[in-house]
Structure 1
Amino acid sequence: MEGLSVRAALGLAQSRSILLVEALSGGSCLLTGALFFSCVRAQSANLHSSAKIMEALAGAVCTVYGIGYSSYYLTNLTRHLIRVFVGPDPESTEPTAGSPLAPSAPGEEAEKEQNVLNSPAVVRREPERREPNIKAEPQAELPEAQSDIKAAKRRNKEDIRSIQEEKNLHQHRSDLQDQVSVRAEATPLMKYPLSCFLQNFNKQLQAELQATETRLRAREKRLDGKTKVAREKLDVLLQEQEALEKQVAIKKINLQGLTSKELTVNELMVMKMNRNPNLVNYLDSYLVDDELWLVMEYMDGGSLRDVISKTYLSEDEMAAVSRECLQGLDFLHSNHVIHRDVKSCNILLRTDGSVKLADFGLSAQLTAEQNQRSSVVGTSWWMAPEVVTGQPYGPKVDIWSLGIVGIEMVERQVPHWNESPTSAELLLATGGTPQLRQPKLFSASLRDFLSCCLQTNEEWRWSAKELLQHQFITSVKSVSSLVPLIISVKKRKEEERL
């Protein structure tokens, strides 16, 4: 009986106990009958001895029967306790209801187990009770043994399947590890994932830093531009306040005639729309009868022409005046305005060293549709060749006029000053670049500066922004160096008036 479970062994013991009890019951009946017939026969012989024999036989029969029935009862009790505390046998086909202390007949139990084994999913009617049969023992043992064998086989199959699945899982994991290893070897960057991550992080950090620095530079540039504009506006406001607290200059313009009206409105609009520390500040305007009064800040140092006519200027003073004029012209040109009448009379000075452009009556406002002009306007001796010849021109005509002012500061006279306006214009159109009479007396930087301003070809002529970077301009001192010169000239003028 190797390989059977405890439940199967107990069932087999129960079946055999039943058979043993039945055999003992039958034997007891036979012995009782034999004793009965022997007692009848022995009535005449010796009744006392026969009674003793019967008493001994009856005691033996009862003892054997009690031992067999006790074995059967204990077997059923053990099986019932197993069912209560362990649970019903999942492979058993016996019914769970009913008391184990009153089991059915052995033949009936074997027949039920056989029916459940043959047809587990169908409920059949129990067969009729039959008398105990000793030959039913093999039939009771066989279904239960087959059930145990099938359960053992099923468990073996499940164990084999779980072992195979675990083996397949290990094989799948090893295959995945091999694939990862192959990919890692094929990818150089994956050999050192930490260093690659640090390199990528460093690159991203550098890119973010560069982008941040670019944004900061752009913001600083915008802030510098806004600060510069705010400073210029503040300077203009301070100048307006000083002008209101002190003296003001009033320019009276007669409005008779259409041309005069157009020039006046043009000058008024340019002065009102363009405010800069190097431009004479406009304060207000009044209409008095047929005259328009323009109220401007008062430049107490007079004009540059007054200074040139009274004294010679040093190269540093020439450079300081040129730089202030270039700053004003650069502001006008950046706003698409051409002055068209730059000359020493229209460059005004103040005793604090300020140098400002004035008189915007001939100025022109350029637009996207009309970015050049061709009208012949200006003062003859300071006019550029392209203006004299009537060719289209742009803001660089003011640079030519500033070059003539430079020659005027050096030699105290403009080129062709003794010629008529028509002759001067003709000479400017055909005579080429004006030259200094004694160039060797002056520095090379001054001569080069004048050459850059007085190029007859407008394309070769430098712009105001480029001339501000010229060596002659960048080496200049502050405008305070002009204060002694302006004050001395002012005193001479006052003395002459007395």
Structure 2
Amino acid sequence: MNWVRGHSLGSGSFATVYLAKHPEDSVTFPQLTAVKSSNLHDSYSLQNEKQILDRLGSSPHVIKCFGQDKTVENDEEYYNIFLEYASGGTLSDQLEKHGGKLPDNLVRRYTRSVVEGLKYIHKKGFVHCDLKLPNILVFENGNIKISDFGLAKETGVEQGEKWQPRGTPMIMSPEAVNDSVYESSADIWALGCAVVEMITGEPAAWNESDMLMLTIRIGVGEELPKIPEELSQEGKDFLEKCFIKDPLRRWTADMLFKHPFISDVETVSVVNELVDELPLSSPSPKTYFNMLIVFLLLVRHCLLFQMNGVNKK
């Protein structure tokens, strides 16, 4: 396969991600992709990611995989998979760019997109198992996609050793800590942790460096991650639905998608975009006409939103 490895974009526990350049006349790959590479002997997680992405298929909120390749570099054999390149980096990068905290409108919009992605993943019969800000990518148009499926698994199927931890300890759910159970409800707990981190800039779970104490605090008793005081009442309620200790009572992605914290994000976003287009100077007859058009568009969108709400009931 004809491609050129570029500079490193980041690295994780199982692989390193680089920019990859492909020929302009390629019918299979865009000119720029990300390439995720691992030594062939240690590429189980990367091959698992490729298989799961192939089975998941296409979704606007899940990273797209274009293909795989094996290369020999410096006398070592590598396994490579080619993924969509996200020019905006990760949500961790966005957090840093915004000074450590994201504004409320972005938190809601990003959360809605992640929930949509989880709805799709869970409906397809998979669990991500490591949902966190570094594994959520931001694209040039502001859209975000869930990535890094190296630890993902099929729903209801045990993989690996029974008591072998999967994912990042700080975001593990109580049932994962206590019983090594990793099902769709574990992704919802991790979602709550991600929302808290977007709002506060700090990890959601307890500030505990001792791993034994961390697992005890997550798995034993009634203690829950602290919900930010600065969050709206809707946001607090949303997190309470994510941080239910009993996985059978914890809300699903389908249920959360209808929660008021994120359910009206699309309408608010459209309104803000239209308002941003309004002129700041003294209105002319032409401007009055433009404002009327904007007003009519707003009315139309609100009516459509109401009709969609009625149809869903």
TM-score, with length taken from structure 1? 0.44
**2:43 is equivalent to residue 266 of structure 1:** no
Q: CA deviation at 1:451?
A: 0.5
Q: CA separation in 1, counterparts of 2:46 and 2:218?
A: 29
Q: CA deviation at 1:276?
A: 1.1
Quote the residue 1:291 is aligned against: 78
Q: CA deviation at 1:313?
A: 1.5
Over 6 Å off, 4+ runs: 478-481
The percent identity for this pair of structures is 27
Q: CA deviation at 1:395?
A: 1.0
Aligned-CA RMSD value: 2.6
Q: CA separation in 2, counterparts of 1:480 and 1:249?
A: 30
Q: What letter is aligned with 1:365?
A: E
Quote the residue 1:385 is aligned against: 174
Q: CA separation in 1, counterparts of 2:268 and 2:215?
A: 34
Whether the 8 Å contact between 2:206 and 2:225 is mirrored in structure 1 is no
**2:249 is equivalent to residue 460 of structure 1:** yes
Name the SS of the counterpart of 1:461 in structure 2.
coil
CA spacing shift, 1:479–1:345, aligned 2, 3 Å = farther
**2:251 is equivalent to residue 472 of structure 1:** no
Pick from 200, 204, 213 the counterpart of residue 411 of structure 1.
Answer: 200
CA spacing shift, 1:372–1:418, aligned 2, 3 Å = closer
Whether the 8 Å contact between 2:126 and 2:184 is mirrored in structure 1 is yes
Pick from 304, 311, 334 the counterpart of residue 91 of structure 2.
Answer: 304
Quote the residue 1:277 is aligned against: 60
Name the SS of the counterpart of 2:38 in structure 1.
strand
Q: CA separation in 1, counterparts of 2:113 and 2:198?
A: 14
Name the SS of the counterpart of 2:245 in structure 1.
coil
Pick from 210, 218, 240 the counterpart of residue 428 of structure 1.
Answer: 218
Q: CA separation in 2, counterparts of 1:298 and 1:242?
A: 17
Q: What letter is aligned with 1:433?
A: L
Q: Deviations over 1:311-361 (max 9, x none)?
A: 221222111111111111111111110100000100000120111001100
Q: CA deviation at 1:433?
A: 1.3
Q: Deviations over 1:178-202 (max 9, x none)?
A: xxxxxxxxxxxxxxxxxxxxxxxxx
Q: What letter is aligned with 1:382?
A: I
Q: CA separation in 2, counterparts of 1:331 and 1:445?
A: 24
Whether the 8 Å contact between 1:380 and 1:422 is mirrored in structure 2 is no
1:8-157 superposed matches below 5 A: none
Q: CA separation in 1, counterparts of 2:269 and 2:39?
A: 37
Q: CA separation in 2, counterparts of 1:468 and 1:462?
A: 10
Extract unaligned runs of 5+ from structure 1: 1-240, 485-498
Q: What letter is aligned with 1:427?
A: R
Q: CA separation in 2, counterparts of 1:269 and 1:309?
A: 32
Q: CA separation in 1, counterparts of 2:212 and 2:90?
A: 26
Choose 1 or 2 for highest CA Rg: 1
Name the SS of the counterpart of 2:150 in structure 1.
coil
**2:125 is equivalent to residue 336 of structure 1:** yes
Whether the 8 Å contact between 2:155 and 2:184 is mirrored in structure 1 is no
**2:43 is equivalent to residue 254 of structure 1:** no
CA spacing shift, 1:243–1:325, aligned 2, 3 Å = farther
Whether the 8 Å contact between 1:339 and 1:362 is mirrored in structure 2 is yes
Q: What letter is aligned with 2:233?
A: A
CA spacing shift, 1:298–1:384, aligned 2, 3 Å = same
Pick from 331, 346, 355 the counterpart of residue 135 of structure 2.
Answer: 346
Name the SS of the counterpart of 2:67 in structure 1.
strand
CA spacing shift, 1:252–1:371, aligned 2, 3 Å = closer
TM-score, with length taken from structure 2? 0.69
Extract unaligned runs of 5+ from structure 2: 1-25, 274-313
Residues matched between the structures, number: 235
Q: CA deviation at 1:273?
A: 1.6
Whether the 8 Å contact between 1:452 and 1:461 is mirrored in structure 2 is yes
Q: What letter is aligned with 1:347?
A: I
Q: Deviations over 1:265-321 (max 9, x none)?
A: 211101112121111110111011321111111000000011123322122211111
Q: What letter is aligned with 1:319?
A: R
Name the SS of the counterpart of 1:302 in structure 2.
coil
Q: What letter is aligned with 1:284?
A: G
Q: CA separation in 1, counterparts of 2:177 and 2:106?
A: 30
Q: Deviations over 1:56-93 (max 9, x none)?
A: xxxxxxxxxxxxxxxxxxxxxxxxxxxxxxxxxxxxxx
Q: CA separation in 1, counterparts of 2:263 and 2:32?
A: 34
1:174-213 superposed matches below 5 A: none
CA spacing shift, 1:391–1:310, aligned 2, 3 Å = same
Whether the 8 Å contact between 1:468 and 1:474 is mirrored in structure 2 is yes
Structure with bigger strand share is 2
Q: CA deviation at 1:243?
A: 9.3
Name the structure, 1 or 2, with higher relative contact order (CA <8 Å, separation 6+): 2
Quote the residue 2:23 is aligned against: none
Q: CA separation in 2, counterparts of 1:460 and 1:242?
A: 47
Whether the 8 Å contact between 2:153 and 2:159 is mirrored in structure 1 is no
